[in-house]
Amino acid sequence: MAETHRHRFEQDQLRREAGEWFVIMNDENVSEDDKSEFKRWLARGALHRATYNRIASIDSAGKRVDWENLPPPKPVRGTAKRIWIAAIGCVALIGFVAWRRSSGWKQRKSHRTSRTHLWNIQRPPAKYAKFRFQMGPA
């Protein structure tokens, strides 16, 4: 029960070791030294045995799949429709911007202030300026 709360690094290391032992033990030319070392590794604990069995079950599940006769993937639905809607939206936006810039959408001059009108505002006469900047009594 205490071994189930292992550190993640230890679990990853155990999986890696189990994978390496699985490859070694499934080789056709396994030496007697490798077999004895593998038996010692398995004897280190139930967690080692369980991890090795998990790797073996994943391998056997992969062997049961008929990789040559898999059904073709289903096409993604609505992709073409989304592309057409996006294209029409982009064309509409570009058309609106071009129409607005080509003076197709003008407002009356009475409803807006032109920039030239703002620049032509005159300063007050100089006789009023002394009151604005005077700090003390006159």
Query: For residues 11 and 4, what is the distance between their CA atoms, to the nearest angstrom?
Result: 10
Q: What are the distances in angstroms from CA 12 to CA 16, 48, 54, 62, 102?
A: 6, 12, 13, 21, 66
What pLDDT score was predicted for residue 59? 87
The answer to whether 99 and 105 are in contact (CB under 8 A) is yes
**Rounded to 5°, angle at Cα 6 from 35 and 19:** 30
pLDDT for 36? 93
φ, ψ at 9 (rounded to 5°): -60, -40
pLDDT at 123: 62
- Looking at residue 16, its pLDDT comes to 92
Cα angle at 66 between 65 and 67, to 5 degrees? 95
Q: Give the per-residue pLDDT at 85.
A: 94
Rounded to two decimals, what is the model's pTM?
Answer: 0.44
Give pLDDT < 50 ranges for the chain: 1-2, 108, 111
